[in-house]
Structure 1
Amino acid sequence: MESAELSFNVDHGYLEGLVRGCKAGLLTRQDYANLVQCETLEDLKIHLQTTDYGNFLANQTSPLTVSKIDAEMRRKLCGEFEYFRNHSLEPLSTFLTYMTCSYMIDNVILLMNGALQKKAVRDMLGKCHPLGRFTEMEAVNVAETASDLFRAVLVETPLAPFFQDCMSENTLDELNVEILRNKLYKSYLEAFYKFCKNYGDITAEIMCPILEFEADRRAFTITLNSFGTELSRGVAARVAKRP
């Protein structure tokens, strides 16, 4: 433990400094009080320019809209996250990749539902969360079964390990797509939980309860949403089982 502490700054000191800087840049209580007083989105833009958000809306033309602000904030956040991940070493890089997997799952399911509804892939890609983007996304709509999806699209992505319990030749209709989403989330949460538990220390102390809560939340949601549907009690129990 002492040797790890002595060498910590060699591998992680730069990122720790960045994290401390980000923490110092969080909006203060006074900032929020000032935002409440803003009467227009332009007023909000002007105030945010005085914070660590800076001129992130400088390229946005009038009229300013909530969706534009949301998109630019999301882009700023994702850019900072990717910078952290690109400069991280193990095991931090794996931890950060785990953080993106939930967005990847949601993006895959979004594209599959779009394909079922005959919507254009380009339109659906615009709705995908940037933290969950991967190069094979556009090919998601060619899959007709979970096995097709794995072999043609996801085998080279971080989602591949989560498909071990999801391989199926069932046609991907709306019900099976939703079942696939929940099975993927179950496998993902179990893997992320195991990773944090095995690492131990503060990571396990903080993350394991968070992941347990998320697993419980999803279990309750799946159970409630299964009432009055074709989803049997047995299937609901399997996809909702806690890690």
Structure 2
Amino acid sequence: MEALSFNIEAGYLEGIVRGYRATMLTQTNYQSLTQCETLEDFRMQMSATDYGNFLANEPSPLATSAVSQQATRKLVAEFEYLRTNATEPLSRFLDYLTYSYMIDNVVLLITGTLHGRDTQELLERCHPLGWFDTLPALSVATNVEELYRTVLVDTPLAPYFRDCFSAADLDDLNIEVIRNKLYKAYLEDFYEFARSLGGSTAENMTKLLAFEADRRTINITINSFGTSLSKEERGRLYPTIGHLYPAGNNALARADAIDQVRSIIEWVPEYKRLFDDGSGISSEGVDFNALEDRMFAYEVELNRLLSMNQFQYSIFYSWLKLKEQEIRSITWIAECIAQDARDRINDFVPPV
């Protein structure tokens, strides 16, 4: 029944997003990009892909920041086409995809303001998918209550602020606590909404959101070592979903050292690959880049696998995540070319 009725409301947009997915860069494209000697060569190689002449109006010498900005602009245009043409419940599902960008924009702006950064510069760095009308007013907020009352009360993020008012003063630690509380509430809410959709969408999205929740739990644990955040406060920041919940979350909340984190995470068979050769986490310390790259690689694999099924909404989530990874990859290659760091140019995670 699901397959019979799906195309009535969402079949056209599923076809569009699968078309977007099919035009992503291939292994051959990445190989050609890594062989470029200059950013002008890079610009020419990119023009032969689906990105076309997206860099044609950028002045020489080409800035790597322009690569990321213009690629993001293309992504946003494609996403907004999907959202403009969507109807319920797909339109609401696509709205949920933007909430994480809203959270990141809020945290970026209040952190930058706290450190005296120029407001206009901060607004230019905000992700377009997370923009809302009252975002510029964030720079005047001095505490969480004022932030909520004057800026966020009429945004989709308002319900997620219920547990944030205990962190009244805006300092670096409290801002990170607020970020993690917002993500916790957001992921739990999105998870319940995905489950309510039923069918393949619910099955696939609960897997994808479970991984995202576990990744945040792992990062919170590692980043809390050496800070004034108590174990009780740390545990309250963990999302109550995911493969690690509840036993793994409870154990991580009590962890005191890196080796304990590794042993707990390895309870989940899917996560053993993160530490198979010990380069991600060791008793001597943490290589955050190695661990993050492995998480990205697992996320790419998961999104590729779960986007193969038809007649379900998770293809929209997976396409967005894979496209984000593609933008990170091409920006990394461009940066390595600009810095003449040829020995590191292949240190990216291709989303294909």
Which TM-score band applies after superposition, normalised by the shorter structure?
A: over 0.9
Query: What is the alpha-carbon distance in structure 2 between the residues aligned to residue 147 and residue 8 of structure 1?
Result: 43
Q: 1:45 to 1:6 in 2, by over 3 A?
A: same
Q: What is aligned with 2:208?
A: 210
The code of the aligned residue for 1:140 comes to L
- Find the aligned partners of 1:228 and 1:9 in 2 and give their Cα distance: 52
The offset of 1:68, in angstroms, is 1.2
Superposition deviation, residue 169 in structure 1 = 6.7
Following superposition, the deviation at residue 21 of structure 1 comes to: 1.8
Q: Is the 8 A contact 1:147 1:169 kept in 2?
A: no
How far residue 46 of structure 1 moved from its aligned partner, in angstroms, is 1.5
Which residue is equivalent to 2:21? 23
Q: What is the aligned partner in structure 2 of residue 63 from structure 1?
A: 61
Distance (whole Å) between structure 2 residues aligned to residue 209 and residue 7 of structure 1: 24
Matches for 1:78-227 after TM superposition, within 5 Å: 78-168=76-166, 170-227=168-225
- Do residues 41 (structure 1) and 36 (structure 2) align? no
The residue type equivalent to 1:30 in the other structure is T
Q: Cα distance 1:231–1:241, how it changes in 2: closer, same or farther (>3 A)?
A: same
TM-score normalized by the length of structure 2: 0.65
Give the structure 2 partner of residue 72 of structure 1.
70
1:144 CA drift (Å): 2.2
Unaligned 5+ segments in structure 1 are none
Q: Would you say the 8 A contact 1:216–1:242 is kept in 2?
A: no
Which of 1 and 2 has higher RCO (CA within 8 Å, sep 6+)? 2
Instruction: Report the number of matched residues.
Output: 241
3-state SS of 1:44 partner: helix
> Identity of counterpart residues, as a percentage?
53
Q: Residue deviations 1:139-176, cap 9 Å, x none?
A: 11222222211111111111112112223472222221
Deviation at 1:5?
4.3
User: Any unmatched runs of 5+ in structure 2?
Assistant: 242-352
The TM-score, its normalising length taken from structure 1, stands at 0.92
SS of residue paired to 2:163:
coil
Whole-angstrom distance in 2 between the partners of 1:70 and 1:241:
30
How far residue 193 of structure 1 moved from its aligned partner, in angstroms, is 0.7
Q: Which deviations, in whole Å up to 9, do the C-alpha atoms of 1:169-221 show, x marking residues without a partner?
A: 72222221111111101000100111111212121222111211111111122
Cα deviations by residue, 1:86-133 (Å, 9 ceiling, x for unpaired): 111111111111111111111101111112112221111122122211
Distance 2:99 2:222 in 1: 25
Q: Is the 8 A contact 1:143 1:149 kept in 2?
A: yes
Equivalent-residue separation in structure 2 for 1:215 and 1:50 (angstroms): 38
DSSP-derived class of the 1:229 partner = coil
Assess if the C-alpha contact under 8 Å between 1:219 and 1:242 holds in 2: no
